[in-house]
Amino acid sequence: MFNIGDLIIYSAHGICQIDDICDETVAGVTKKYYKLHPYESNHHITIRTPVDNDKVLMLSMIPKEEVTDIMDAFKEPALEWDNNPNMRLQYFSDIINTGERKEIAKVVNTLMRKKIEVKLDGKNLYERDHKVLNSTQTILFKELSIALDTTFEEVNQLAIRLINENS
């Protein structure tokens, strides 16, 4: 169970902060709920989710000690590229949905490498791949920047440097 004030990864919302843990009654059933908000949002959005919600991915933030291991994924070759966009999306989504940051970093590494490759040919990354890269990279790099007490851009530059050094 998380605590008030904790930063967590909450499904597609990304990094959220827990504002409260309280009992709420919905449809006559009383349960403990987390009340949280997106960490870097200017909007005043409140998200409520049951503490025991197993349908949504909720993860603790990456500890600083694990950052190096996760960033090492950017030294590795890309994952195998499936030329079928639907199969590729399913493959990447399955990996992302595990919540395993090292594996997620491998997906981001693969998509970043592919983006560089197609750009050299004067093309753009397939739109669906671009969306997966953008959303996944944003959440992962923001999380890493918090763990390292640095900026998103510095984490991004480090990833690019590691990719370039290991191409």
For residue 96, the domain's CATH number is: 1.20.58.1290
Q: Are residues 143 and 74 part of one domain?
A: yes
Can you give the pLDDT at residue 41? Answer: 73
Q: Which two tokens stand for residue 83?
A: 């030329």
Q: Are residues 72 and 56 part of one domain?
A: no
How many Cβ atoms are within 10 Å of 141's Cβ, its own excluded?
20
**Nearest to residue 62, comparing CAs of 26, 15, 96?**
15
Can you give the pLDDT at residue 43? Answer: 66
Q: Are residues 138 and 79 part of one domain?
A: yes
Tens of pLDDT, residues 98-139: 999 999 999 999 999 999 999 999 999 999 999 999 999 999
Q: Are residues 86 and 13 part of one domain?
A: no
- Residue 45 in any domain: the answer is yes
Give the pTM. 0.90
Q: Secondary structure of the chain: what % helix, strand, coil (to 5)? A: 50, 20, 30
Q: Are residues 148 and 106 part of one domain?
A: yes
Q: Are residues 76 and 34 part of one domain?
A: no
Q: Are residues 153 and 86 part of one domain?
A: yes
Q: Distance between CA atoms of 156 and 144, rounded to whole angstroms?
A: 10
Domain count, the chain: 2
Q: Which residues of the chain have pLDDT under 50?
A: none
Q: Are residues 73 and 42 part of one domain?
A: no
Can you give the pLDDT at residue 28? Answer: 94
Which domain, by its residues, includes 103? 64-165
List of residues 6+ apart from 9 with CB closer than 8 A: 15, 16, 57, 58, 59, 60, 61, 99, 139, 143
Can you give the pLDDT at residue 57? Answer: 83
- Residue 37 in any domain: the answer is yes
**Nearest to residue 97, comparing CAs of 64, 52, 59?**
59
Q: Are residues 83 and 121 part of one domain?
A: yes
Can you give the pLDDT at residue 54? Answer: 83
Q: Distance between CA atoms of 104 and 95, rounded to whole angstroms?
A: 6
Tokens 């409140």, located at residue:
46
